[in-house]
Amino acid sequence: MEKEEKSSSIEQQMAEQVIFQKVNDWLGIELVENAKIFVGNTFMQPDFYSKADGIIGEIFAHIGKPKKAQDNKISNDILKMLLLEKIEGKIYRKIIVVCDEDEMKKLKGTSVLAECIRQFDIEVKMIEIETDLRDTLIEAQKRQRMVNA
């Protein structure tokens, strides 16, 4: 949510843009992208947000079985959603959008993260993306793995 620390590839950011539009269509409202929400002396920037409709959400444009670092990223975003609720004293509709069946399975499965998702009422929504975009994402992930290997 903190854009200054964004480490995703350009392909991932492009995919997130495509998915953001699809989320707008799905919810039928105009969401704000990367809204600055001030908390204490800093701010967070969720992938999508609507104050009027009480929605906060994050998009995960990752393909394939997620690793621990990706799970931790999701935990970090959930914690921030809970922080927003705590600070505003208001319940939000909290949504995590994924574009891959393996990611979906993980978040709906038996892990502690999946249990957090159930207990804290986080909605997990699967949005289909086109095969070309999917292939582009897979290639970008391979490249990142090579760099990080």
What residues make contact with a copy of itself under the rule CB under 8 A? Answer: 1-2, 5, 7, 39-44, 68-69, 71-73, 75-76, 78-80, 82-83, 86-87, 110-116, 118-120, 148
Q: Nearest 5°: CA angle at 122, between 116 and 123?
A: 135
Do the Cβ atoms of 47 and 59 come closer than 8 Å?
Answer: yes
Which lies closer to a copy of itself via its Cβ, residue 83 or residue 104? Answer: 83
Closest separation in Å from C-beta 55 to a copy of itself: 19
Say how many C-beta atoms besides its own lie within 10 A of residue 138's C-beta: 14
> β-strand 48-50 against 55-60: which pairing, if any?
antiparallel
Closest separation in Å from C-beta 44 to a copy of itself: 5
Closest separation in Å from C-beta 72 to a copy of itself: 4
Closest separation in Å from C-beta 113 to a copy of itself: 8
Q: Nearest 5°: CA angle at 130, between 12 and 128?
A: 85
Do the Cβ atoms of 100 and 125 come closer than 8 Å?
Answer: no
Which lies closer to a copy of itself via its Cβ, residue 114 or residue 138? Answer: 114
Which lies closer to a copy of itself via its Cβ, residue 27 or residue 71? Answer: 71
Which lies closer to a copy of itself via its Cβ, residue 131 or residue 148? Answer: 148
Which lies closer to a copy of itself via its Cβ, residue 110 or residue 131? Answer: 110
Closest separation in Å from C-beta 110 to a copy of itself: 4
CA–CA separation, 145 vs 149, rounded Å? 6
CA–CA separation, 138 vs 134, rounded Å? 6
